[in-house]
Structure 1
Amino acid sequence: MDTTDVVIAGAGPTGLMLAYELRLAGVEVALLDGLPARTGESRAGGIHARTMEILDQRGLLDDLLPQGRPIQAGHFGGLPLDFSDFNTRYPYTLAVLQSVIERELDRRATELGASVQWGSPVTGFRQDATGVEVEVGGPEGSRRIRAAYLVGCDGGRSTVRKLAGIDFAGTDATVTGMIADVELADPPAQPFFGQRGDAGDFSAVQFEPGWYRLVVQRHDRVLERGAELTFEDFRDNFIELAGTDFGMHSPRWVTHYGDAARQADRYRVGRVFLAGDAAHIHYPAGGQGQNLGVQDAVNLGWKLAATLRGNASDELLDTYETERHPIAARVLHNTRAQTALSRSGPHTDALRDIMSDLIDIDQVRQRLGLMITALDIRYDTKADHPLAGRRVPDADLTTEGGDTRVHALLRSGRPVLLVLGGNDVPAIPQWHDRVEIVTAESRTDRWTIPGVGDIPCPGAALLRPDGYVAWAADDPTTAGLVEALTTWVGAPA
């Protein structure tokens, strides 16, 4: 029987990101997928600012950015949202196909030793007090892998979730969305999201030179998940709504999906976890799903690594569900609202007119935009500083080694104690082997928190590996810091 630290079921963006995180921390991983090979298909078509920040924190963004196209906006139910004034280095949506992201994450995870085992579906598991015995199928017969933990990143029909007996409650589909990746002989002059017709809405966005993603959304017309959708069916539906097919031809891929919204009632059963679509599905309104999964993986990855190293207690793993479950619930809530806002008819037309007026108010636009981009997330902490629980701003810094920025300090995936303004480093000798201590000067004396505003630059901040602030203080002492270190880094040595 093979052994490893963590078995990951599913090699999509969530599973690949988790594998990268764990290998970066030196954790052994078995990355399994039931498919015979990667399909090259792409349900998701973009990433938002917070996901770009997370990829940047790990040095994974530079190679990806040139392969996408910045779109200087997002949308809420098809109503445009301007992101350009959001306090981030990436105030836009990056239009990039899921297949491109998978290719880049696969390459980087493989470089760290986490190559995908294709044709290897998880078919069963048994767990006990010390680990999980995972049954794996395949063309050469079944085999078993013994691991400390199993993580199901195996999509909305997750085998791991079903085997774990986790309920997946929610609402059934009322809408059918149709996607075709095609070439256009007569493309539109500008990309557009959610342009409305009498019976639904339609979109056209260019992702790669010469290739466009066309989307049709039909309300109150539900196709079963396994039903076939031909290119001719897609073209007929698109023409019915748009009045033209833009000369579409040479389809790469045609598929359909619905607006069923479901969430696992638990993200953890003992040594088994769920992440990504295995934990939550929803309509792809606002392009939040892939972002949600990648951020699940980064939240869970460093916690698993800390626990496996023996630094953290099992209670740290419970914070994965308490932090991420409400975030996904919020996404399901706002995508249901966006689906309702996209319906046709005079009642929805009136609602959209009012919403358009409201979105012109900066506070409303920012509230919706920061939710869609996940820049407004604040996890619960016991610290009362305005930075505590929020993602740390990517401020420019000067250190003894030269100029840098905050997010670049997180490349190693380790916690960072950042001490600023010439303050003394708090005395924490019991954690020196687990925390990187950086002294620096911030090149601005005020930091901007999205949705809150400017605050004075802190005297010190403890940064979790995922870029969220575990503790901060204007006048750094060990008050509160020891408790934060014990909670998020582990008991003193």
Structure 2
Amino acid sequence: MKHDADVVVAGGGPVGLMLACELALADVSVVVLERLTEVDTTIKAGAINTPSAEAFYRRGMLPGLAEVQRGAIEKFSSFLRQRQAAGATALKRPPKFAGHFAGIMLRGDLLDESDPDFDAAGPAGDVGLVPQEALERLLVARAAELGVDLRRGVHLTGLDAGEDGVTAHTSDGSLRAGWLVGCDGGRSTVRRLAGFPFPGTAPEITGHQAIVEMTGADALGAGWNWTDTGTYAHGPMPGRILTVEFDGPPADREAPVTAEELQTSLRHVSGVPDVTITKVHSATRFTDNARQVPDYRAGRVLLAGDAAHVHSPFGGQGLNLGIGDALNLGWKLAATVRGRAPEGLLDTYTAERHPIGAWVLEWTRAQVALMRPEPHARALRGVIAELAGSVDATTFFAKKISGVWQRYDLPGTHPLTSRSAPDLELSDGSRLADQLHGGQALLLDLVDDPELRKRALGYGDRVRLVTAACPRRPGLAGLLVRPDGCTAWAADVADVPADARDAAPAPLDELDAALRRWFGAPGTGTLEDAAAA
């Protein structure tokens, strides 16, 4: 049966757009359905982590992110100036921010930046303050450049999935596609219609986040604050507030968030009776509902982002988790659509991403437990805060929050295998990230080794071959980097001795195995084909 598109993506937020862009890079036709007619301006995530920044860097989007970050820093400076003008003369710019755990601030001056996990991201490691709305706008523009068919004001109403494809019924008619991916949020229609189980823990808190205009805010503490009735945060942007109450979930999660509701919550949690909210610019309500589907795939229907897992926003993991899902799934689904995927490739999506999602759920549950306004949690919070004042603990928490700890369970013995590829500076003036802009895999020959390059024969349509030196890593012989930036194979010079090349040494055998595992059997082609890819 003829398809209207190779893939239909339900949900045009950052996750759905990122996935659509990855598919489009691989010449897969994709239609994105988004119920909203404009970019969602509701206040949500305020930052991205290192893996997300690396992902955008590897697709040439870092300059746009850096520009957004400059604006976010200026808003933070404006908040400090407002506080000082209101009489907070002792307020000082805090030390370099390294994240927070349950509202406990981590000081960047206590971070051990010599830790090797912080040494690989290159310029992407300097970008993080990117609000979700701004990121979505950048992705909308990129999707348009890549020819993605984004249909706004259209939502999914039903689906029929079979062995050879999926029919997506929408408010604007029906579409036939090979695959359907639900990137449609925590209350996913795709998840419900496809019958995915969604086990987890029920919500116990009510949280609000908003950008407002208010009077009487001078009495509010800046940053995170704990009281006998809950937790609240003020800043780091002008008018930004967050409240958390621990007496159960909201009565109506779907009801509009009003100024009265925000004001009541803020007064209750802060104990400041005169703070008055005069205008609401953006507001959202959240809980600590924590659930995850056991398998991200059911036949030709897949889930990514909040459609596959939900949790509280503490620690800022949600947006980043979804971007990681999209990056992991995109190239695997594209290879499957184009008939180039080795057996079982698409199944590695759940195998690799589910454990990271499960960790995030536990990470957020721990923070909720630590924030509770009761004596035992308060005592434990004091212990964690004291620990966080040390270099080792700050580095531990920062590695977790930043995402640089993330690894996939891949075969191979080299320390770089299974982790995000380091952003190597190459002798031709480029960096490794520059070589990944097109969304292809990369085989990097760093020692001008004909035997290593020979392994790329037949993969020119799937793997880009680059030969260049890396003066700052003279001991590294080569890397195989998947399209998502994960190192699938690496070897040092000592592991590929010149006098043993004719015997096909073990590291090059491992390279052969990695190429077949991720990109299938070699086809016909020349080294020139691979170098030109």
Same fold (TM over 0.5): yes
- Cα distance in 1 between the residues matched to 2:271 and 2:180: 49
Letter in 1 for 2:400: M
Q: CA deviation at 1:303?
A: 0.7
Of 446, 453, 456, which aligns to 1:426? Answer: 453
Map 1:62-461; keep pairs closer than 5 Å: 62-68=63-69, 69=72, 72-82=97-107, 85=113, 86-87=118-119, 88=121, 89-91=123-125, 94-138=128-172, 143-183=173-213, 193-207=223-237, 211-224=238-251, 225-244=253-272, 249-399=278-428, 403-424=429-450, 425-428=452-455, 429-445=457-473, 457-461=475-479
Report SS of the residue matched to 2:175.
Answer: strand
Q: Give the Cα–Cα distance (whole angstroms) in 1 for the partners of residues 220 and 264 of structure 2.
A: 22
How far is the alpha carbon of 1:229 from its aligned partner? 3.3
- In structure 2, the residue matched to 1:9 is 10
- Identical aligned pairs, as a percentage? 41
Q: How well do the aligned residues superpose, as a CA RMSD in angstroms?
A: 2.4
Cα 1:91–1:411 change in 2 (3 A) is closer
CA distance in 2, matches of 1:188, 1:67: 28
Aligned partner of residue 470 in structure 1, secondary structure: strand
Look at both structures and tell me which one has the larger radius of gyration over its CA atoms. 2
**Cα offset, 1:28, TM superposition:** 0.4
3-state DSSP of counterpart to 1:180: strand
Q: 1:188 to 1:64 in 2, by over 3 A?
A: farther
Q: Letter of the aligned partner of 1:407 in structure 2?
A: A
Q: CA deviation at 1:419?
A: 1.5
Shift of 1:144: 1.8
Give, in whole Å, the separation in 1 of the partners of 2:223 and 2:54: 24
Matched position secondary structure for 2:158: strand
- Distance of aligned partners of 1:261 and 1:237 in 2 relative to their CA distance in 1, 3 Å threshold: same
Asked if the contact 1:73/1:92 (under 8 Å) is kept, the reply is no
| Per-residue deviation, residues 299-337 of structure 1 (Å, max 9, x unmatched) | 000111112222213511000000001100000001000
Higher mean alpha-carbon deviation, 68-77 vs 463-472, is at 68-77
- Kindly provide the amino acid, as one letter, of the partner of residue 187 in structure 2: R
Partner-residue secondary structure (3-state), 2:100: strand
Per-residue deviation, 1:130: 2.0
Hey, what's the Cα distance between the residues in 1 that align with 2:236 and 2:394? 25
1:175-201 superposed Cα distances (whole Å, 9 cap, x missing partner): 111111124678779995432111111
Cα deviation code 1:469-488 (max 9, x no counterpart)? 00111134521111101111
C-alpha distance in 2 between matches for 1:131 and 1:125: 11
Please give the alpha-carbon distance, in whole angstroms, between the structure 2 residues aligned to 1:316 and 1:203: 44
CA distance in 2, matches of 1:203, 1:227: 23
- The secondary structure found in structure 1 opposite 2:454 is coil
Q: Distance in 2 between matches of 1:253 and 1:393?
A: 38
**Secondary structure of the structure 1 residue equivalent to 2:235:** strand
Render the CA deviation track for 1:328-364: whole Å, top value 9, x for unaligned. Answer: 0000001000001111132222111211232234333
Equivalent position of 2:483 in the other structure: 465
Q: Determine if contact 1:156/1:281 at 8 Å carries over to the other structure.
A: yes
Q: TM-score, normalised by structure 2?
A: 0.83
Aligned equivalents of 1:188, 1:421: Cα separation in 2: 62
Q: CA deviation at 1:491?
A: 1.6
Partner of 2:82: none
Alpha-carbon distance in structure 2 between the residues aligned to 1:82 and 1:473? 36
**Structure in which a larger fraction of residues adopt strand:** 1
Q: CA deviation at 1:243?
A: 4.6
**SS of structure 2 residue aligned to 1:412:** coil
Match of 1:41 in 2: 42
29-38 or 88-97, larger mean C-alpha shift: 88-97
Distance 1:187 1:72 in 2: 24
With the length of structure 1 as denominator, give the TM-score of the two structures.
Answer: 0.90
1: distance between equivalents of 2:61 and 2:227?
40
CA shift in 2, pair 1:30/1:126, >3 Å: same
Distance 1:246 1:465, change over 3 A: farther
CA distance in 2, matches of 1:279, 1:163: 13
Structure with a larger share of its residues in helix: 2
Q: Is the 8 A contact 2:244 2:269 kept in 1?
A: no
Tell me the SS of whatever aligns to 2:62: coil
| Structure 1: tracts of 5 or more residues without a match | 447-456
The letter of the residue matching 1:418 is L
In 1, distance between residues paired with 2:3 and 2:171? 14
Quick check: 1:426–1:478 contact (8 Å CA) kept in 2? no
Q: Which amino acid aligns with 2:266?
A: F
Cα shift at 1:11: 0.4
Cα–Cα, structure 1 residues 264 and 251, in superposed 2: closer, same or farther, change >3 Å? same
**C-alpha distance after superposition, 1:237-290 (max 9, x if no partner):** 223333557775432122211111011121001111000000000000111100
| Separation in structure 2 between the aligned mates of residue 10 and residue 413 of structure 1, nearest angstrom | 22
- The separation in 2 between residues aligned to 1:182 and 1:339, in whole angstroms, is 25
Deviation of the 1:34 alpha carbon: 2.5
* Amino acid of the structure 2 residue aligned with 1:352: R
SS at match of 2:412: coil
Cα distance 1:115–1:65, how it changes in 2: closer, same or farther (>3 A)? farther
